[in-house]
Amino acid sequence: MLKLGEIALKGLNRRSFEEVMMKNIKRRLGDAGEFSVTSRQSTIYVEPLDELADMDLAEERCAKVFGAVGYTRAGATKKDLLHIQEKAVEYLREELEDALSFKVECKRSDKKFPYKSPEIAMEVGAYVLERFPHLRVDVHHPDVTVWVEVREENAFVHADAKPGAGGIPVGTGGKGMVLISGGLDSPVAAWTMAKRGLELTAVHFASPPYTSELAHDKVVRLLRKVSKYAGRIKLVTVELTHLQEEIRDHCPEELSTVILRRYMLRAAERVAREEGCQCLITGESLGQVASQTLQAIACTDAVAEMPVFRPLIGSDKAEIVRTARHIDTYDISIEPYEDCCTIFTPKHPRTKPTLEMVERGEAAIDGEALLEEALGSLWTTQISAY
């Protein structure tokens, strides 16, 4: 049972969000067996259709589906008090045997059921105590909470719900292109925007021979981690070697990083339009490095027509690391394979460039021709976690 979060507040659009979420769940469960996925009363029900269904795998997959604020495995039974009592003891036997205290909570959505919630909780609690005399009731800090939900078609028994992935279903917020490097920030930015419903496409900039196949493989592995939450991701890789060499050789060194970022944004926007994306996503955090000062970001954004989302703009490194650990990208991100953002780094980058200064520095190269050359060398990789 997946409990809906803010989807429940979507009013007349709510059903469309639920349908997208159910489709996402069905895709994730493709190799876990046969399941029925339905929606009733602000809950998505994922029910196995045969004994071969892998419930452990299904739970692992559902835990990473955006849109659910919580989830739990539950035992279904008839809407009859004796059946509910027996199911509580049968379904939660292991937890109750290991506990010292418990309480019973009840939600009665079906108001036609002849017992009210406090009566159900009291009767189920008495039945549990009779079967497990070592237990005591503790309504404030129980070891186990026995939840009973009486709904339209069935009654359900379960323990406390686990936290869900949150957010809204991927695919309900449009399509965005994330500029992905091998660092900590951009995979976290990608995950954060997928959590807000964006379907992701990714662009990665390579500079062989300065960057290696290992660096590209690192990006693929990072996106595979993100795709556990975001679903399938198309990765577009663009080679920027010649462009970077020209910037290094002819543009002012202290402006080279900002100039490179501007060309990355130009390239990403052109690829994004080809892929049907409506926005760009970067992993920048204000003031983290010289190219992420307010002035440098303003100079970079001046070349973009699409909205540029920076979901980490107000995050500090500790917060980003915490999220990277949560989504399991941290260990991959700290592997020592360089990406194109870390080569040819100026010794003394200018932290407060002006747009006039940067445009004058760019004029030293034939940027448009170099950009066309780079976009002629792209290739794609389809990425899925499962």
Share of the chain above pLDDT 90, in %: 89
Please report, for the domain that includes residue 307, its CATH number.
3.40.50.620
Closest CA to 164 of 20, 7, 55: 7
Q: Among the three residues 72, 94, 122, which one is the final residue of a domain in this structure?
A: 72
Q: Packing angle between helix 256-274 and helix 241-250, nearest 10 degrees?
A: 150
> Given a cut of 90, is residue 338 above it in pLDDT?
no
In terms of domains, do 234 and 355 share one?
A: yes
Give the neighbor-by-neighbor strand order of the sheet with 2-4.
35-40, 43-48, 2-4, 68-71, 162-163
Return the half-sphere exposure (C-beta side, CA atoms, 13 A cut-off) of residue 77: 21
Asked if 277 and 328 sit in the same domain, the reply is yes
146 in a structural domain = yes
> What would the mean pLDDT of 34-61 be, rounded to a whole number?
94
Question: 43-48 and 35-40: which strand pairing?
Answer: antiparallel
Residue 268: per-residue pLDDT: 97
Count CA atoms within 13 Å of residue 382 on its CB side. 2
Cα dihedral sign, 256-259-261-264? negative
d(CA 278, CA 178): 11
Whether the predicted pLDDT of 341 surpasses 90: no
Same domain, 140 and 188: no
CATH number assigned to the domain comprising residue 119? 3.30.2130.30
Contact between residue 101 and residue 136 where contact means Cβ atoms under 8 Å apart: yes
Considering the domain architecture, whether residues 352 and 235 belong to the same structural domain is answered as yes
* 211 and 352 fall within a common domain: yes
Owning domain of residue 119? 76-160
Cα–Cα distance for residue pair 224/382, rounded to 1 Å: 10
For residue 348, name the pLDDT band (cuts at 50, 70, 90). confident
Share of the chain above pLDDT 70, in %: 100
Tell me the pTM. 0.92
With beta carbons less than 8 A apart as the criterion, state whether 84 and 77 touch. Answer: yes
Is-contact 147 136, C-beta < 8 A?
Answer: no
DSSP labels, 341-370 = GGSS--SS--SS--HHHHHHHHTTS-HHHH
CA dihedral 29, 31, 34, 35 (to 10 degrees): -10
- pLDDT score of 63: 96
Report pLDDT for 376.
Answer: 93
Q: Is the pLDDT at 342 greater than 90, yes or no? A: no
Per-residue confidence band for 3, with pLDDT thresholds at 50, 70 and 90: very high
Q: Cβ distance 193 to 310 under 8 Å? A: no
Lowest mean pLDDT among 40-54, 139-153, 265-279, 341-355: 341-355
Average pLDDT rounded to a whole number, residues 181-201: 96
Band of residue 92 on the pLDDT scale cut at 50, 70, 90? very high
pLDDT value at position 41?
A: 84
pLDDT for residue 347 is more than 90: no
Q: Is the pLDDT score of 140 beyond 80?
A: yes
Lowest-pLDDT choice from 3-7, 20-24, 87-91: 3-7
Decide if pLDDT at 350 tops 80: yes
**What integer is the mean pLDDT of 326-343?**
86
- Judged against a pLDDT cut of 90, whether residue 345 lies above it is answered with no
Could you tell me if 107 and 36 lie in one domain?
A: no
Give me the helices (H) in 63-155, please.
81-91, 93-98, 117-131
Mean pLDDT confidence for 133-149: 96
Residues 6+ apart with CB under 8 A from 66: 21, 24, 165, 166, 167, 168, 169, 170, 194, 195, 197, 229
247 in a structural domain: yes
Check whether residue 237 and residue 312 sit in a common domain.
yes
Residue 193 clears pLDDT 80, i.e. is over it: yes
Task: Choose one of 113, 130, 160: the last residue of a domain.
Answer: 160
For the chain, the C-alpha Rg in angstroms (whole number) is 26
Whether residues 147 and 86 fall in one domain: yes
Q: Does the structure show a pLDDT above 90 at 331?
A: yes
What domain count does the chain have?
Answer: 3
Residue 151 token pair: 């709904």
Nearest to 89 by CA among 135, 39, 52: 135
Q: Does 204 lie in the same domain as 301?
A: yes
What backbone torsions phi and psi does residue 348 show, to the nearest 5 degrees?
A: -130, 75
The residue out of 72, 96, 120 marking a domain boundary is 72
* Token pair in block for residue 188: 């976290």
pLDDT in tens, 61-83: 999 999 999 999 999 999 999 99
Q: State the pLDDT at residue 344.
A: 77
Q: Is residue 284 part of a domain?
A: yes
Residue 166 in any domain: the answer is: no
Per-residue confidence at 131, pLDDT binned at 50, 70, 90? very high
**End-to-end alpha carbon distance in the chain:** 22
Assigned domain for 374 exists: yes
Quick one: 364 and 269 in the same domain? yes
- 88 and 206 fall within a common domain: no
102 and 124, same structural domain? yes
Query: What is residue 275's predicted lDDT score, i.e. its pLDDT?
Result: 97
Supply the CATH number for residue 68's domain.
3.30.70
Evaluate whether residue 214 is within a structural domain. yes
pLDDT digits (tens, 9 = 90+) for 352-375: 999 999 999 999 999 999 999 999
The pLDDT value recorded for residue 346 is 80
Instruction: Return the closest-CA partner of residue 62 out of 120, 115, 22.
Output: 22
Q: Residue 339: its pLDDT value, please?
A: 73
Structural domain contains residue 165: no
Q: What are phi and psi of 65, to 5 degrees?
A: -90, 120
For the cut 80, the answer to whether the pLDDT of residue 126 exceeds it is yes
Is residue 170 domain-resident?
Answer: no
What confidence category does residue 267 fall into, taking pLDDT thresholds of 50, 70 and 90? very high
